[in-house]
Amino acid sequence: MTKAHRKNPAGPEARRPLVRVLRDRDAALYLAGVVVSGFGTSALWLASGVWVKDLTGSDGLAALCVLAMWTPTLAGPLLGTVADRVRRKPLLITASLLMACLLLTLFAVDSRDSLWLLFAVLFVYGAAGVVHDAAESALVAAAVDPDLLGDFNGLRTTANEGMKLVAPLAGAGLYAAYGGPSVALLDAATFVLATGVYAALRVREAPPRRPMANWRRQTAEGARHLWGHPGLRPLVLAGGITMLCAGVNGAAVYAVVDALGHSPAYAGTLYAVQGAGSVAVGLLAGPAVRRLGGRRFAATGITLLAVAVAARAVPSDALALASSAAIGAGLPTVLIAALTAVQHETPGPILGRVAATADSLVLAPNVLGLAAGAALVETVSPWLLLPAVGAVLLATATALRSP
């Protein structure tokens, strides 16, 4: 893959990286695609659980919707290899059109007996998302100035978190008015719009390197690069531990709300404040990565997260809101730092599988953390559990700061 462009502007604009990212045609189009597809995904994520709950009355089956979408992350190293065997731009277009068509099959889901179709679509949705993210990460690295990758990834976080603040409400409202198929139609429309965005990109791609006949060897090549790189391995390990702890913390949110004396719906307020913190840190990520370096930026964010999680043990509304904002600001730092480092330090021909492997190692532990947290919160007081989680995060940050 060749670099689409490398700009080094002089003057005041060079000192305003966010402006440079937004004025870059391809970077701006990528961000537009993130906003559009993120809106549809967030809307479907909420509506699918409500849909299953309405058809079955089962909380467990409703929770399986999230599991169906997350499970393909475990196969990230293998799925990411797909993004290295073909040209990435046509792959993004094809995946988006495939999902737009597949989502329309959900109009057939109208009873408990047809729920298998919803779970099957959600599973494919998750698998397509892994391939999509791998291809997008590789294509972004070719299209965006390396000096601006931190800014771009920060803005991507801002866009994603911004959509999480508004899309679930829109999806819930649409579901309440017209039912589950209407949300599927909305998501299909966002995939069609995203297809148009990707088609408009002007990134020039070299033909992919001739693939190995053995998929296992090709997949292992990406894993070896990631694990053997002294700059990437610590960030990815720290990211996995952080997301494991974040899952435990997330499972304890209703215990925190209960201790504050509020109804369970108050968790929505805490999540909204957390999202606002993530939106804010995304805007600051680029300059912070350049000033501190990826590891120090991530370690600083994990430290903030550690203090905020531990502080949740104190039953105070003001502290709960402040802690939620701090969690939102601290949690994405290691994700942004790890992705930016992978894009900087990985050759283009293997970037898809390396990015997907990193995503698996960082994000999959979140599911394990949610499961572990759900069990622990039933037997261990949150006022002991949360400080313990904070201590693990603080140790992680300390280790990451070490050379």
Query: What structural domains does the chain harbor?
Result: 12-204 (1.20.1250.20), 215-403 (1.20.1250.20)
Amino acid code (one letter) for 92: L
Q: Which residue has the higher pLDDT, 255 or 208?
A: 255
Q: What is the mean pLDDT of residues 165-180?
A: 84
> Given a cut of 50, is residue 1 above it in pLDDT?
no
> Given a cut of 60, is residue 2 above it in pLDDT?
no
Q: Which residue has the higher pLDDT, 304 or 351?
A: 304
What's the rounded Cα separation, in Å, for the pair 294 and 228?
18
Confidence of residue 210 (pLDDT cuts 50, 70, 90): low
What's the rounded Cα separation, in Å, for the pair 148 and 218?
30
What's the rounded Cα separation, in Å, for the pair 175 and 14?
46
Per-residue pLDDT at 94: 94
Q: Mind giving me the DSSP string for 67-124?
A: HHHHGGGGGHHHHHHHHHHS-HHHHHHHHHHHHHHHHGGGGG--SGGGHHHHHHHHHH
Q: What is the mean pLDDT of residues 49-63?
A: 80
CB atoms within 10 A of CB 312: 29
261: left (phi over 0), alpha (psi -120 to 50) or beta: left
What's the rounded Cα separation, in Å, for the pair 229 and 205?
26
Inter-helix orientation angle 317-345/351-379, to 10°: 160
Assessment of whether the complete model's pTM goes beyond 0.75 = yes
Residues, the chain: 403
Non-local (6+) Cβ contacts of 267 within 8 A are: 253, 254, 257
Confidence of residue 17 (pLDDT cuts 50, 70, 90): confident
The two structure tokens encoding residue 297: 């930026």
> Given a cut of 70, is residue 294 above it in pLDDT?
yes
Amino acid code (one letter) for 167: A
Of the ranges 18-27, 185-194, 238-247, 360-369, which one carries the lowest mean pLDDT score?
A: 18-27
